[in-house]
Amino acid sequence: MHGLSVRDRTQELRVDRERLGQRMRELARFGANQAGGIDRVAFGDADVAARGWVSGLMDAAGLDVTIDAAGNLIGRRPGTVQGALPLVLGSHIDSVPGGGNFDGQVGSMGAVEVAATLADARTRHPLEFVIFPNEEGGKTGSRALAGKVEPRELDLVTASGYTIGDGLRRIGGDPDRLGSVLRPPGSIRAFLELHVEQGAVLDTDGQDIGVVEGIVGIMRWNVVVEGMTNHAGTTPMDRRRDAMVAAARFVDMVYTTVLDMPGTQVATVGRLVAEPGAPNVIPGRVTASLEIRDLSMDRIGEIFGEVRARADAIGSVSGTSFSFDRFYVSEAAPTDPHIRDVIETSARSLGLTTRRMPSGAGHDAQSMAHLGPVGMIFIPSLQGISHAPEEHTDPGDVANGADVLLLTLLALDRS
Ligand SMILES: [Zn+2]
């Protein structure tokens, strides 16, 4: 019965809440700014120093620490079953300029805490704990693992002032050997990421854990409304073909269309430019943007179809025409249905409440979905504030999230 007793003991394991809280506070010192947040942009001095510090924590947890050519900081430990695929945990510690202390950091410290908690336990699968570089500036580390980084990206200048290529050299990577980090589909048992919600759903509804259904897909269009430019004083109101008025109706229509349809889809008109743009000229042309996000790409297509039909109707009553040019597509990345169930069961076994929800923001898990099944665990963001110094998550929620991460990992290791 030796095997059973080992199993029972791992199921009773919990993270050290005190140590996790202490490490969250220590990490917050790297790049701390006057506003109470952090300026720890990828490849800057604070990022480099923080990565060195995290590397030390991984080492102390008994992990074999390496940095791959894409700058991924990886701590590994072997499993007991020969040839078993690795279970991978991770997130990022770089921030946007003027960022907060929780985005990325919760998942990074949560993963390192799981490693420390398991230091004396054995797992069937090898474990990898990863800090992905430059998440905020293009998810360079995780996308390189999926073979998605284009060579020309390496010349892009990041918020640190360094190009991505030079930045990777600064953190121990080698941009000339980026292809060497590629991991094919089916090369991992699973990837798990703990992250703050960055929205207000969990906080508002008083729920503990978000079980992420997937990272939403995004489509964006340039929308051109054509009317007729004319004199603002001499053209009677009933003879105008005012592109601005049609565009205003369009903006309102997008909002109501998306609200009227069931589901969690969102749509935004974030840009509106009227031409010629003078106070005494009826605008003959308006250029707008349209963005739609949903977990299903087909659903985005359906919503767009409805928006387009209603735009045509606006055009016909206002003497204008609408044209749509799609210029951006980001594929949705659904999480693994079985892992969702395991996260839910793990959370409930800890007495935590759960809610299934999409992630409206992009994450490293999106790239990791190309390698194998992924799962994401959300914890509440106070008032949904993120990418700002006011970003906050209760230390108790951080610890709850880390415990769910730990139990989910152990459950997947047993299966
Ligand atoms: Zn993040």
Map tokens 């229509």 to a residue: 253
Same domain, yes or no: 168 and 247: no
* pLDDT at res. 7: 53
* pLDDT at res. 11: 76
| Distance, CA of 260 to CA of 316 (rounded, Å) | 22
Ligand 1 mean position to 274 CA, how many Å? 35
Is the CB of residue 339 less than 8 Å from the CB of residue 374?
yes
Instruction: Over range 266-275, report the average pLDDT.
Output: 96
Q: What percent of the chain has pLDDT over 90?
A: 96
- 4 pLDDT more than 70: no
* pLDDT at res. 1: 41
Ligand 1 mean position to 241 CA, how many Å? 45
pLDDT, one tens digit per residue, over 17-26 is 999 999 999 9
Map tokens 């917050």 to a residue: 28
> What is the CATH classification number for the domain harbouring 226?
3.30.70.360
- 6 pLDDT more than 70: no
Map tokens 């793990």 to a residue: 346
Same domain, yes or no: 111 and 27: yes
Same domain, yes or no: 201 and 275: no
Ligand 1 mean position to 197 CA, how many Å? 9
Domain boundary among 287, 307, 330: 330
pLDDT, one tens digit per residue, over 398-410 is 999 999 999 999 9
Confidence of residue 2 (pLDDT cuts 50, 70, 90): very low
pLDDT, one tens digit per residue, over 169-228 is 999 999 999 999 999 999 999 999 999 999 999 999 999 999 999 999 999 999 999 999
Same domain, yes or no: 222 and 350: no
Structural domain range at position 228 = 217-330
Domain boundary among 279, 311, 330: 330
* pLDDT at res. 415: 86
Ligand 1 mean position to 233 CA, how many Å? 52
Query: Each residue of 21-52: b (16+ CB within 10 Å) or e?
Result: bebbeebbebbbeeeebbbbbbbbebbbebbe
Ligand 1 mean position to 104 CA, how many Å? 4
Ligand 1 mean position to 320 CA, how many Å? 42
* pLDDT at res. 230: 96
pLDDT, one tens digit per residue, over 294-318 is 999 999 999 999 999 999 999 999 9
